[in-house]
Amino acid sequence: MNFRRASRDEPDINLIPFIDVLLVVLIFLMLSTTYSKFTELQVKLPTADAQAQRNNAKEMIVAVSSDGRYVVNKTLVPDRSVDSLALVMQQTANVGPETVVIISADATAAHQSVITVMEAARRSGLVQITFATQKSAQSSP
């Protein structure tokens, strides 16, 4: 009988595969976080400062109320359809290819109301469109 204790060798812990796996995970995380920045939608909203009001004979001011009514150069449009708005825009005295359409929409007006004005201007052959704003409170002295 052999009563000697078997010599126990200290088990070796091999860290190289563990380090390899950690490096692969680290590289994967670094690459995925870098690309996630490109997929985010970052929007900077523009600010507008009011300029001196111009008085141009080739301007058409279209006002849009919060409830969706339209006024073209101080003339109320009886119907809210694109066709009737385009007809009123064409009948305005100063319509020409260089006429600038100024959309003065209420801040609470529906987005569709503004798009309707833009579509009516396109149907009337007016391609120069701008938006009226008021001076922001932050830019006042």
The CATH number that applies at residue 114 is 3.30.420.270
Q: 63-99, pLDDT tens digit by residue?
A: 888 888 898 888 888 888 999 998 888 887 567 778 8
The pLDDT tens digits of the residues spanning 97-128 come to 788 888 888 888 888 988 999 999 998 888 88
Q: Can you state the angle between helices 82-91 and 111-123, rounded to 10 degrees? A: 50
Higher per-residue confidence, 91 vs 39: 91
Distance (Å, whole) CA 20 – CA 130: 59
Residue 85 belongs to some domain of the structure: yes
**Count of structural domains, the chain:** 1
The pTM of the full predicted model, rounded to 2 decimals, is: 0.57
- Residue 124 falls within a domain, yes or no? yes
Residues in contact with 2: Cβ distance below 8 Å, sequence separation at least 6, in sequence order: none
Residue 25 resides in a domain: no
| Boundaries of domain holding 118 | 59-135
User: pLDDT confidence of 26, banded at 50, 70, 90?
Assistant: very high
- 90 belongs to a structural domain: yes
Is residue 37 domain-resident?
no
